[in-house]
Structure formats: structure tokens, C-alpha cells
Amino acid sequence: MISFEIPPEIDKRLEFVRRIAREQMRPQARHFDEHEHEVPWDFINLMWDAALKTGQSFRSGTSRPDEGPSFVSTALVHVIESLSWGDAGIYLCGPGAGLGGAAIEATGTKEQKERFLARYREGKPKWASMAMTEPQCGSDTAAIRTTAVRDGNEWVLNGEKIFVTSGHKSLMDSEGLSVIWATVDPTAGRAGIKPFVVEAGTPGLTVTKLEQKMGIRASDTASIVLQDCRIPLDNLLGSAEIVDRTKGFKGAMATFDATRPSVAASALGIARASIELLKDLLEQEGVTIRYRTPRNLLSAIERDVVDMEGQLRAAWLLTLKAVWLMDQRRANTIESSTCKVKAGDVVTKVTQKAVELMGPLGYSRKLLLEKWMRDAKINDLFEGTGQINRLIIARRLLGYTSAQLK
Ligand SMILES: Cc1cc2nc3c(=O)[nH]c(=O)nc-3n(C[C@H](O)[C@H](O)[C@H](O)COP(=O)(O)OP(=O)(O)OC[C@H]3O[C@@H](n4cnc5c(N)ncnc54)[C@H](O)[C@@H]3O)c2cc1C
């Protein structure tokens, strides 16, 4: 049975995470927003040491279902929500296999998972990024132009990737890796696109640029150029064979099924932070929310706050359902996209409303409300925009392929 209670084992782990969020992340949030590209090493080292000690990653990608309890994903979204309540940008700097690790988990063989992910359980902090987006391709993944050509015992990669989260940390700041999506057959559309692991320090791979962004400014977002970048043959995750030219690339979908609830959880951590601060500020002005009063007797502000809380709760329950299905090893594509769409909408509207209700104070940099409004929007953008996730849900519900409904 699905349960919306926090299991005691998770609650215990959350005590540590909540303390870090409150005492370390929140006080540093403004600093790292104003010093883009400065790396929060204190936070990184703390989280890395804790992950090594407990054997549990605070980012997705290294959970080993054979070893862990049956609520690995559920635990993770609680952790991510709490860390993002502290600061979503700093949370994204957290070390671990992250999105790249999720791609390896979703598409790699048992041997590849061990070979590429073992490093995230030892030594110094490391990251793994995943690079799909290119200058001419984002939502339309069939337009990926990066090529992978076999040459003897190697793949030779050529192309450019942009907007790679933790691209710099995974490839320049650590002995990490990036999962690069490239086509082995440009005539085969999505079916020809495969994931390749490129290790930090591989000749032919250059990190060329760091983006300057509106929100989550602590998180590095990099461009990568691959020029005759040679990697071993068995760094292709899964098989090079194109089984069915009409089918899309399942590995990418499986990756996003696993990670979209994490994006939703991060969004909802920001939304909860905004509502809590808003309520504190309102209370200081003598406005308390009369929850047991009929709606028609509430003030406009009270109705707004009640609506914000209701929307937050709805999005959180959708997120828990998506990860519960994952922990049960059941398909969750619809639920995963649904919770991400809902959470992206909720965090965007809630943070905007919080700024609005506080008037000029909301707009001022004195408070974090304006920052959270900027941090919020990315959740409706990366790992599939709101529109693309709505398309995925519609296709699944109506039984259309991506060629039939686009
Ligand atoms: C901070 C940040 C971090 C990122 N991290 C990563 C990362 O780690 N790895 C990675 O590979 N990418 C990453 N991205 C890229 C992100 O995933 C893409 O920006 C996103 O997928 C949208 O692609 P696009 O920018 O090409 O926009 P487009 O696809 O051009 O979309 C522009 C607009 O058109 C809409 N649209 C597009 N197609 C349709 C359609 N068929 N129907 C209806 N509406 C449509 C979109 O929803 C959007 O509103 C990141 C982006 C940012 C900003």
C-alpha cells in the first residue's frame, strides 16, 4: 500500500539534512547567488563525507536497489526537498553521480554500473553530468548532431553540448564523467542516439563556457566541445545496435522517469520555503491564516495562502506516487512527468505570488523571496519543459507515438 507518512528510517536521515539546510545552506544562499561560479566547497565536502560514512548518496544515481531498502527513491525525494528548502542552487552542487549516474543506472550493464559508479563511493568528491542538449536541439532530441563513429576498438565523438548541469564539476573539478548522447547513425533519428561515457581528462573534450543565469546561480551550467574525442568501445552504455528504427531512445526516457520526481522535489522545497517565509512575515504584520473558517469569510490574502498550500500538497502527493511506483519497480512515466509538470507550475506560481503579496519587500534583495522566484523557473524547463512533459503524458494516455503527436 502506498503511504504518505515519512518512514522512520527516512525521518532519521532527514534530521541531518534539515540541519544542513537550515544552518549551512540557507545562510549562504545569498552569497552564492551573488558570486556565481564560486564553488560551495564546505557544503560539498560535508555532504561527500556524510555520503561515504552512511553509504547513501544525497543525489540520484548511486542507489543500489539490491542493497538498499525498498524506498530508495522515496528517501531521496525527501532529502532533495529538504536540501532545496535550504537552497536549490547549492543543492545542485552536491557531489555524487546525479543525472549522469541515473543515465548509467538506466542504460548500463551490471559491469558498466560497477565500473563507472564505484568511484562515487570512495575518495574525493566527484560528479557525473549528462549532456543531451545542443545548440540546435533541446526538446527535439531527434535533432542531436553529435556523432559517434567506430574506429577499431574506440568510438570517436565529435560535436557540441550546451547547458550541461555540473559539466565543469564533473569534468574539470573532479575525476568524474559525463554521459554524452550522440548518434551512431544520423539517418536513424532518435533510434540512432546512444549514451556514451566520457571520463574527465579525456583528450578531445573541452569545457568551453560557463553560463550566467537568472536563477540557481550556484549551480554550474557548462558548454562542452568534443573534437575527435576517443573513448573505449565499451564506454557505450548498452548496445550500438539499432533494433527498431521507428522507436525512440528508451534509455533517455528511463533516465528521466527516474529523475523527474527529483526535479519535482527540488521545486517543492523552494515552494515550501517561500510559503513558510511568507506566513512568518504575514504573522509579524498580524495576519494569521484562519484554517477552520469558511472560505467565503477569509480575506483575499488568507485565500491565496490556503490555495498555495493546497497546490503544494497536491504536487507533493503526485511526487510521492511517482517515486513509490519506482521503488516498487513499476512503470511510472505518466506519474513522473505529471509530478514534474505540476511541481514546475506550482513553484513558479507560488514564488511569484509570495513576491506579489509582500509588495516592494518581496521584490527587494533583502529577502530571499525574489531569489526563490528566479530559482523556481528552471524546474519548468530542464529535464523536459512543461509543454514536453504534457506531450509525454498525452501520448501515454492516448496511445500515440511521438511521431503521431508532436
Ligand atoms: C540551467 C539549465 C540547466 C540545464 N541542464 C541540462 C543538462 O544537464 N543536460 C542537458 O542535456 N540539458 C540541460 N539543459 C537544457 C534543457 O534541458 C533544455 O533547455 C530544454 O530541454 C529545452 O530545450 P531548448 O532550450 O532547446 O528549447 P526548445 O526545445 O527550443 O523549446 C523552446 C520552447 O518551445 C516549447 N516547445 C518545444 N517543442 C514543443 C512542442 N513540440 N510542443 C509544444 N511546445 C514545444 C518548449 O516547451 C519551450 O517553451 C539545461 C538548461 C538550463 C537552462
Q: Is the CB of 377 under 6 A from ligand 1?
A: no
* Confidence at residue 245, expressed as pLDDT on a 0 to 100 scale: 67
Contacts of 287 (CB under 8 A, 6+ apart): 299, 301, 302
Residue 352, ligand 1, Cβ within 6 A: no
**Which ligand 1 atom minimizes the distance to the CA of 131?**
11
> Residue 240, CB half-sphere, CA atoms under 13 Å: how many?
15
151: nearest Cα among 204, 205, 225, 230: 230
Cβ atoms of 320 and 342 within 8 Å: the answer is no
Q: What 3-state class would DSSP assign to 60?
A: coil
C-alpha cell at 209: 563556457
Task: Give the Å distance between the CA of 144 and the centre of ligand 1.
Answer: 13
Whole-prediction pTM:
0.95
Q: What is the pLDDT of residue 246?
A: 59
Q: Is 378 in the pocket of ligand 1 (CB under 6 A)?
A: yes
* Nearest atom in ligand 1 to 129's CA: 8
Question: Please, which residues bridge with residue 182 across strands?
Answer: 194
pLDDT score of 400 more than 60: yes
**Per-residue pLDDT, 11:** 85
- To test the pocket of ligand 1, the residue of 145, 163, 169 to mutate (highest count of ligand atoms within 8 Å of its CB) is 163
Q: For residue range 128-167, what is the model confidence (pLDDT) as tens digits?
A: 999 999 999 999 998 999 999 999 999 999 999 999 999 9
Nearest residue by C-alpha to atom 38 in ligand 1: 139
Handedness of CA 111, 113, 116, 119 (dihedral sign): negative
Distance 129 CA to ligand 1 centre (A): 16
**pLDDT category, 90, cuts 50, 70, 90?**
very high
pLDDT of 4 strictly over 80? no
pLDDT digits (tens, 9 = 90+) for 98-108: 999 999 999 99
Compute the distance between CA of residue 213 and CA of residue 222 in angstroms, rounded to an integer.
Answer: 11
Q: Per DSSP, what are the bridge partners of residue 180?
A: 131, 196
Strand locations in 26-176 (E): 128-131, 147-151, 154-165
DSSP 343-377: HHHHHHHHHHHHHHHTTHHHHSTTSSHHHHHHHHG
Mean pLDDT of 282-292: 96
The response to whether residue 131 sits with its C-beta less than 6 Å from ligand 1 reads yes
- The model's pLDDT over 390-399, given as tens digits with 9 standing for 90+, comes to 999 999 999 9
**HSE (side-chain half, CA atoms, 13 Å) at 283:** 8
Q: What pLDDT is attached to residue 64?
A: 46
Give me the mean pLDDT over the 289-318 stretch: 97
Which pLDDT score, from 0 to 100, does residue 70 have?
A: 54
Percent of the chain that is helix, strand, coil (3-state, to 5): 55, 15, 30
Segment among 51-55, 342-346, 355-359 with least mean pLDDT: 51-55
Q: How many residues does the chain have?
A: 406
> pLDDT tens for residues 54-82?
887 777 644 444 444 456 789 999 999 99
Check pLDDT > 90 for residue 360. Answer: yes
Tell me what pLDDT residue 13 has.
Answer: 83
